[in-house]
């Protein structure tokens, strides 16, 4: 994933001649990481970093990648300058500080320099009543010398400075089901339309990455699916993170993928589809109950981009609950069938798939389709039966259900693995309830010519 700083910020920096940005947030929110990552986004190698908190050597220890953007001679160790409160620290009549005047002279003539002061709080406290004068002077500086100025602050109530700067960004966190979520909010950006007020972000690998709205993508050139080895398990998702967190615990059993109401079914397909492709590619039977609004032909068209049509027709059967006639060889109609007739068709189909299959069978059941055409009790009975059969035969049963379904609550205690999928600010996230996992952003990786989940931990 290549998304770093929210798009609005690099865009406004490109079209303005100098810009001042205040980055606020509590301890540990990643303010310094955000400020340094901004230089990566700008591809800016003329960076200056003024540290009032830690010595210069600590910057490279924490952010080794920053050496490319901030040379050692451009790191100003200001930890000793502001150790005493209410001192003027070299403030001249114009409100300039001595060390700022030195940096002014050093950046003069440089192309698109970036100056980070981390944190401004120490300077503000040291200046006492002269702080406002200094803040007025320093926020005028970017327009005078055409540079980007980033002021880092832990003061969450800095109204005067917020008024003076061009942009204000606030980093914060909150909990979702006991898991920490980090959020960046664009409070103010002069000369820029704020299209997205908030993004979730991660500090994985010591760099700031925000998560954009999910856009399902397909490979430009589709390639045949390469099946995964059965060395550790016959069940693989295509995502190393998901395999390590979830699938390594699965040795023939069931997964419940529970969707919030605002999650489209195509997002669930990001996780489900690799399992289906892997089974087909290994000549293993697959039985599918699709979402109620997805026709079987659409599923076939999607999957046969990555596996041969004859393999699909041989190893896949799709149960339909639609009244529309469908004589495709890979479909079995359940419309107007009694529950007993339906059970007989399930049993017959699975026995056939098992006899033709080179290993276990995969069931993918979108519970909404059954519940819509039967009722919650009937859907629960059908799912319970399939989970039980799958466990006995060491198959894999994948249930997809919206959390509002009548049967969803009871399904949670029935399955071996329980995953939740939610939407936040247009992006997709998932986490394991059983076993418990961290919080992951979900995207699609098509770099290999076929789609697999790309899961990035939110840390």
Instruction: Report the percent of the chain where pLDDT is more than 90.
Output: 61
Check if the beta carbon of residue 159 is closer than 8 Å to that of residue 165.
Answer: no
Fold match between domain 8-210 and domain 240-457: yes
Mean pLDDT of 234-241: 78
Pick from 212, 180, 175, 268: nearest CA to 427: 212
pLDDT tens digits, one per residue of 36-74? 999 888 877 788 999 887 766 788 889 999 888 888 888
Which position has the higher pLDDT, 359 or 306?
Answer: 306
419 bridge partner residues:
257, 432
Paired tokens of 421 = 């999928």
- pLDDT, tens only, 319-360: 998 777 677 889 999 888 888 998 999 999 999 999 988 889
- Asked if omega into 435 is within 30° of 0 (cis), the reply is yes
**Rounded to an integer, what distance in angstroms lies between the CA atom of residue 167 and that of residue 6?**
13
Has residue 116 got a pLDDT over 50? yes
- DSSP-based three-state secondary structure for 25: strand
Residues 317 and 289 sit within 8 Å (Cβ to Cβ): no
Pairwise CA distance, residues 151 & 165, whole Å: 9
Total-model pTM: 0.90
Q: DSSP 3-state assignment of 266?
A: helix
DSSP symbols for 240-258? HHHHHHTGGG-SSEEEEEE
**Strand-by-strand arrangement of the 253-259 sheet:** 331-333, 316-320, 286-289, 362-366, 396-402, 253-259, 417-424, 427-434, 436-445, 452-457
Give Cα separations from 420 to 176, 325, 401 (angstroms).
11, 34, 10
- Top-confidence residue, 266 or 247: 266
| Assigned architecture for domain 8-210 | 3-Layer(aba) Sandwich (3.40)
3-class SS at 116?
Answer: strand
Query: So what's the pLDDT on residue 374?
Result: 86
pLDDT value for 299: 96
What are the Cα distances from residue 433, in Å, to 25, 42, 236, 285, 427?
30, 39, 19, 28, 20
CATH-assigned architecture of domain 240-457:
3-Layer(aba) Sandwich (3.40)
**Least confident residue range of 14-23, 35-44, 241-250:** 241-250
Q: Mark out the alpha helices in 82-182 (DSSP H runs).
A: 98-107, 120-127, 131-145, 159-164
Domain residue spans of the chain: 8-210, 240-457
Task: Tell me the per-residue pLDDT of 181-226, one tens digit each, with 9 for 90 and over.
Answer: 999 999 999 999 999 999 999 999 999 999 999 999 899 999 999 9
Q: CA–CA separation, 376 vs 153, rounded Å?
A: 53
- H or E element, residue 434: strand 427-434
Residue 51 tokens, joined: 């540290």
pLDDT value, residue 58: 83
- Positive or negative, the CA dihedral 400, 433, 178, 4 is negative
Distance CA 283, CA 347 (A): 20
**What average pLDDT does this structure show over 127-146?**
88
85: confidence class by pLDDT, cuts 50, 70, 90: very low
The whole-number pLDDT of residue 91 equals 61
Q: E strand or H helix at 341, and its extent?
A: helix 339-356
| pLDDT tens by residue, 89-115 | 556 666 677 778 888 888 888 888 999
Q: Residue 87 — very low, low, confident or very high, per pLDDT cuts 50/70/90?
A: very low
Mean pLDDT rounded to a whole number for the chain: 89
Half-sphere exposure of 425 (CA within 13 A, CB side): 17
> Of 401, 444, 445, which is closest to residue 420 (Cα–Cα)?
401
């Amino acid at each position: 994933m290549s998304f770093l700083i929210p798009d609005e910020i690099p865009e406004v920096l490109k079209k303005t001649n100098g810009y001042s940005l205040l980055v606020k947030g509590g301890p540990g929110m990643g303010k310094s990481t955000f400020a340094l990552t901004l230089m990566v986004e700008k591809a800016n190698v003329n960076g200056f970093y003024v540290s009032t908190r830690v010595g210069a050597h600590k910057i490279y220890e924490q952010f080794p990648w920053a050496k490319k953007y901030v040379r050692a001679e451009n790191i100003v160790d200001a930890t000793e300058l502001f150790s005493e409160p209410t001192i003027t620290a070299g403030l001249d009549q114009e409100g300039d500080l001595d060390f700022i005047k030195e940096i002014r002279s050093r950046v003069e003539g440089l192309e698109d320099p970036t100056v980070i002061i981390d944190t401004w709080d120490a300077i503000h406290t040291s200046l006492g009543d002269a702080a406002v004068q200094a803040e007025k002077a320093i926020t005028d500086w970017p327009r005078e010398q055409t540079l980007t100025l980033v002021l880092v602050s832990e003061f969450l109530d800095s109204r005067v400075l917020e008024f003076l700067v061009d942009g204000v960004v606030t980093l914060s966190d909150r909990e979702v089901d006991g898991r920490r979520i980090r959020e960046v909010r664009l409070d103010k950006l002069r000369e820029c339309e704020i299209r997205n007020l908030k993004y979730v972000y991660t500090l994985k690998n010591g760099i700031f990455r925000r998560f954009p709205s999910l856009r399902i993508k397909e490979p430009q050139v589709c390639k045949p699916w390469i099946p995964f080895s059965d060395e550790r398990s016959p069940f693989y998702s295509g995502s190393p993170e998901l395999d390590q967190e979830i699938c390594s615990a699965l040795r023939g059993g069931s997964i419940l993928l529970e969707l919030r109401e605002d999650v489209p079914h195509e997002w669930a397909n990001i996780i489900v589809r690799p399992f289906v492709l892997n089974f087909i590619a290994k000549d293993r039977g697959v039985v599918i109950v699709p979402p109620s609004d997805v026709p079987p032909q659409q599923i076939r068209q999607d999957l046969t981009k990555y596996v041969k049509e004859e393999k699909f027709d041989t190893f896949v059967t799709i149960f339909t609950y639609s009244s529309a006639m469908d004589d495709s060889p890979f479909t079995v109609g359940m419309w107007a069938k009694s529950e007993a007739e339906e059970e007989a068709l399930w049993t017959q189909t699975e026995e056939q798939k098992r006899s033709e299959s080179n290993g276990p069978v995969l069931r993918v059941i979108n519970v909404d389709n059954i519940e819509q055409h039967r009722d919650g009790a009937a859907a629960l009975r059908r799912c319970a039966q399939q989970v039980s059969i799958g466990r006995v035969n060491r198959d894999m049963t994948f249930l997809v259900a919206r959390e509002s379904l009548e049967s969803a609550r009871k399904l949670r205690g029935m399955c071996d693995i329980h995953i939740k999928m939610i939407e936040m600010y247009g992006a997709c996230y998932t986490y394991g309830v059983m076993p418990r996992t961290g919080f992951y952003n979900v995207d699609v990786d098509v770099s290999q010519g076929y789609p697999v989940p790309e899961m990035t931990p939110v840390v």
